[in-house]
Structure 1
Amino acid sequence: MADTNELGPLPSSHITLLPSSGMGHLTPFLRLAGLLASCNVKVTFITREPPVSLAESQILCHFFSAFPQISQEKLHLLPLDNLSAGSEDDPFYCHIEVIRQSSQLLSSLLRSLSPPPSAIVTDMSLTAAVVPITEALKIPNFIFFTSSATMLILFVSFHILAGSMDGVKIPSLEATPRSWIPPPLLQDKNNLLKTYIIENGKAMTKSDGILVNTLDSIEQSSLLALNGGKVIKGLPSVTAIGLLPPCCFEDNQPLTWLDDQPAGSVVYVSFGSRTAISREQLRELGNGLVGCGYKFLWVVKDKKVDREDGEELVDVIGDELMESVKEKGVAVKHWVNQESILKHPAVGGFLSHCGWNSVTEAMWHGVRVLAWPQHGDQKINANLVTSIGLGIWEKSWGWGGEQIVMREQIAEKVRQMMGNEFLRSQAMCIREEARNRIELHRSSKKGLTELIKMWKKE
């Protein structure tokens, strides 16, 4: 007798997932893999060897222990010396470049899989490199865009707009101001981010579909524009598959200090796994937290890649601030399981760079956000945070590193966020909607349910 669930009979299907570099790309792929496996889909997960960070190595180890039914295939990266100019400035872009140039090895890897893949889900940053390979193998290729649907509009249209970057205006949508566009895209000369967005944005029209970890209800206008041909002609169907819930392997015990704090009283402070902040700004931030009047849990980071970071916390923030922090909160200088922290009842606010994973996790757990974008898609995401009532954004602070934001300003904004009862209430409403939507039988018609049905017919 065939296996069944809400979807009905489940004939065999085999989905292969290919993530890219960095926790912001890896984490949603792991959650998607776990969700597919729970729906009796055969999943093969391709990892890159070596990974770029210790955090990636650790989370992959936990993941495969929790999901023994998911097959792991390793793409051993080529030792390349001829990386594109500028790649050495960012270890993550460097790693993406190595994956891209090693993609020639994918063809034999994919041909070796048994049964043959029904489809492959590829990271957005590898689109241009992988689509020609899967076309030759006649394997449907769906792109997982690991940011918001609103950012996808800029991503797929940038190659058309690049000559006149005064902003982005799509009919029926709010304009994206020039100041929200990542600064590297506004430079006259080419750089890796600019090149990747141009190449991959063009190549997305050759894919079989685009998946976005978002709620259709909060980005309805963007999704309608993308699917209605208003952004770019020839774009395949864009499907909201979120919010992707955290997986069982992420459910670990956060710092026990949180257990002793009153409900909703703690500010969690983190700027993601790849944002390095200057020592001067870190010390202003730390003093602002000490003076805000709330307890806090602060993840300190001043190096992009954790493998390069061997200094002690006191060496980064100094003895005096270290002592002040001990009286008011907790500071750590290592990767933490953010999902476990955000779901803790003691956490009532999140000072965040607004990476898309952080935004979706704040929505999933109903935590208010104070947005402080640092780079990339984060101003576009911060605007979404404010427009849905999840948080506040002080736009005058600019991009991270443009200016030193002083401790008094930081303390004031933290108090403003934590004292705003509307934000607290709205965050909880968003939480309930996200959890209701992820139940497969209540997903939208074009959500993950329909994709799984389609893949089972391949």
Structure 2
Amino acid sequence: MSVSESFLPHLVFLPSGIGNLSPFLRLAAAMASRNCRVTFISIQTQAPAFEFSTFFANHPQINLLNLEIIDSNTPSHSTVTDPFIVQIQTINHSLNKLNPFLSSSQVSAIFSDFVLAAALSQISDNLHIPFYIISTTSVRFLSLVSYLPTILSKDPNVLFSNSCDEIEILGLKPIPKSSIPLAWKHEYSTNHLLTAYLLPNAKSLPKVNGVLLNTFHSFEPETIAALNNGIFLKNLPPVFPIGPLQFYGTHKIHDDDHHRHLLPWLSEQRAESVVYVNFGRREVMSADQMRELGKGLEICSYNYLWVMKGNNEEDDEFSDRGVIIRGEVDQEQILANPAIGGFVNQCEWDSVMQAAWNGVPILAWPQHGDQEMNAETVENAELGVWIKEWAPVEKMIEGEEIGQRVAKIMGDLNVKKRAKIVREKAREACEIGGSSEEAFMEVVEILTSKRN
């Protein structure tokens, strides 16, 4: 290491591996481009995806370390059987292996996600290393998570009981209980998702130095202001809306059969004539509902591109009306294509920000977790339409209704006009002098001036 390198901020990115890696990769690339030394720690819970391996091939200056998970059998007296909670506990148990590296590497700051907030806030505090959270959801949902300790301290079973229809949060619009994830609504005393995961991490948020948001100010202005002004909680750290996070010159390069077939097909379509359908890697729809969705796409009178969960070895399906792909695709490249005129999606947040950047209206069909509150945010920001009548997910939506809804959003010029306005605001936010660029530069200044 040269003398000059030793004075550069050394940033450690440590995502939990549970959820979307893209915001971490993009922010790591952005920080590396600002003369920061970057170490990316991969938690080996699963094999890295194409995007992950391609990223490091394109960014050799970013140091990659692998954290091997310690096998930790659940104690026989433990009542925790949820595989998700057990996995988190196993990861947390393994984090102490990083202490020698963190204490000897002149680390300027650690960046992680909410999943590891409790464990890493303790480690970072012991080592006197600033700790930042990268939020991968809407600010609306983050506000609910942040307020959970206050809500449950008043009534531990308020989410489970029928005592009210809304959750009141001081200074913010009430949250309908119907929008709260179903898994949160089990009785408190046996709800390990609340007691072993959500509450410990939410209580740790005041200990972090800041929360970086993959959103932009005009997309959620009231909620961002409420968090930063301490309206409903006075002990939260500052939040920095720095999105939509871009690939910073690291765009994925796909050279598989999917894209060799797909891109020529898209180039043959009229502008804004194709509806793009993608429910991500965690499809939870029943087989019957998937069949109805297929029927709806065939009768909607628009061509479609439907990406389904699968592996990249499966053949694409072509019909007179559209294309079905099973496996990974470069979603940003697809949404940027002028042929795409609408996006049917569950409102996973990274997808929302990609749609905002490209001005593609969303037909929101949330399935689980934070997605109903994300869908509410999408509709309030005028990026698309949320069909509330399609909830809960157990409800069967007929193909004819799906086709009608798709046709309506694809043909609605006002919806498309409003989505293009969102695109302009997203891009203005990321320009020099824009709100997101200024927030990002504020974080960089904190890190480089050692004021954190």
Instruction: Identify unmatched segments of 5+ residues in structure 1.
Output: 1-10, 315-321
TM-score (norm 2): 0.88
1:352, 1:370 within 8 Å by CA — same for their partners in 2? yes
> Which whole-Å CA distance do the structure 2 matches of 1:136 and 1:181 have between them?
35
User: Which secondary structure does the structure 1 equivalent of 2:132 belong to?
Assistant: strand
1:171, 1:230 within 8 Å by CA — same for their partners in 2? yes
Paired residue for 1:299, among 298, 307, 323?
A: 307
2:171, 2:231 within 8 Å by CA — same for their partners in 1? no
Could you tell me which residue of structure 1 aligns to residue 184 of structure 2? 185
Instruction: Identify unmatched segments of 5+ residues in structure 2.
Output: 1-6
Over 3 Å counting, the alpha-carbon distance change for 1:37 and 1:106 in structure 2 is same
Over 3 Å counting, the alpha-carbon distance change for 1:311 and 1:346 in structure 2 is closer
Q: Kindly indicate whether residue 245 of structure 2 is the aligned counterpart of residue 252 of structure 1.
A: no
User: Which secondary structure does the structure 1 equivalent of 2:235 belong to?
Assistant: coil
Paired residue for 2:426, among 434, 441, 445?
A: 434
1:396: Cα distance to partner?
A: 1.0
Paired residue for 2:333, among 336, 340, 349?
A: 340
Residue type at the aligned position of 1:177: P
Q: Kindly indicate whether residue 409 of structure 2 is the aligned counterpart of residue 417 of structure 1.
A: yes
Could you tell me which residue of structure 2 aligns to residue 87 of structure 1? 82
> Which whole-Å CA distance do the structure 1 matches of 2:295 and 2:392 have between them?
20
Residue type at the aligned position of 2:366: P
Residue type at the aligned position of 2:336: K
Q: Kindly indicate whether residue 212 of structure 2 is the aligned counterpart of residue 222 of structure 1.
A: no
* Residue deviations 1:271-304 (CA, integer Å, cap 9, x gap): 1222332211111111111111111111123xxx
> Which whole-Å CA distance do the structure 1 matches of 2:215 and 2:436 have between them?
12
Q: Kindly indicate whether residue 438 of structure 2 is the aligned counterpart of residue 443 of structure 1.
A: no
Residue type at the aligned position of 1:431: R
1:124: Cα distance to partner?
A: 1.2
1:196: Cα distance to partner?
A: 1.8
Residue type at the aligned position of 1:103: L
> Which whole-Å CA distance do the structure 2 matches of 1:100 and 1:35 have between them?
27
Could you tell me which residue of structure 2 aligns to residue 283 of structure 1? 291
* Residue deviations 1:399-436 (CA, integer Å, cap 9, x gap): 33x21111011111101110111121111121122122
2:431, 2:437 within 8 Å by CA — same for their partners in 1? no
Q: Kindly indicate whether residue 37 of structure 2 is the aligned counterpart of residue 42 of structure 1.
A: yes
Could you tell me which residue of structure 2 aligns to residue 3 of structure 1? none
Between 255-264 and 76-85, report the one with greater CA deviation.
76-85
User: Which secondary structure does the structure 2 equivalent of 1:111 belong to?
Assistant: helix
Residue type at the aligned position of 2:413: E
1:87: Cα distance to partner?
A: 3.0
* Residue deviations 1:81-128 (CA, integer Å, cap 9, x gap): 32873433x5xx654443222112121231243xx1111111111101
Aligned residues: 424
1:25, 1:123 within 8 Å by CA — same for their partners in 2? no
* Residue deviations 1:230-264 (CA, integer Å, cap 9, x gap): 22231111111111113433343542221221111
* Residue deviations 1:359-401 (CA, integer Å, cap 9, x gap): 111001110100000011111111111111111111011133x
Between 289-298 and 183-192, report the one with greater CA deviation.
183-192
1:68: Cα distance to partner?
A: 1.1
1:86, 1:192 within 8 Å by CA — same for their partners in 2? no
> Which whole-Å CA distance do the structure 2 matches of 1:94 and 1:248 have between them?
37
What are the equivalent positions in structure 2 for 1:47-446 lying under 5 Å apart? 47-51=42-46, 56-82=48-74, 85-88=80-83, 95-113=87-105, 116-162=106-152, 163=156, 164-165=158-159, 166=164, 167-188=166-187, 189-192=190-193, 195-252=196-253, 254=259, 255-256=262-263, 257-301=265-309, 326-400=319-393, 402-443=394-435
Residue type at the aligned position of 2:29: G
2:74, 2:86 within 8 Å by CA — same for their partners in 1? no
Residue type at the aligned position of 2:9: S
User: Which secondary structure does the structure 2 equivalent of 1:425 belong to?
Assistant: helix
> Which whole-Å CA distance do the structure 2 matches of 1:168 and 1:266 have between them?
39
Q: Kindly indicate whether residue 10 of structure 2 is the aligned counterpart of residue 14 of structure 1.
A: yes
Could you tell me which residue of structure 1 aligns to residue 4 of structure 2? none
1:172: Cα distance to partner?
A: 3.8
> Which whole-Å CA distance do the structure 2 matches of 1:266 and 1:194 have between them?
45
1:389, 1:423 within 8 Å by CA — same for their partners in 2? yes
Residue type at the aligned position of 2:50: Q
> Which whole-Å CA distance do the structure 2 matches of 1:79 and 1:111 have between them?
24
> Which whole-Å CA distance do the structure 1 matches of 2:401 and 2:93 have between them?
45
1:227: Cα distance to partner?
A: 1.8
Residue type at the aligned position of 1:337: D
1:312: Cα distance to partner?
A: 5.9
> Which whole-Å CA distance do the structure 1 matches of 2:45 and 2:241 have between them?
31
User: Which secondary structure does the structure 2 equivalent of 1:248 belong to?
Assistant: coil
Output the aligned Cα RMSD: 2.3
Could you tell me which residue of structure 2 aligns to residue 28 of structure 1? 23
The percent identity for this pair of structures is: 37
1:44: Cα distance to partner?
A: 1.0
1:12: Cα distance to partner?
A: 2.0
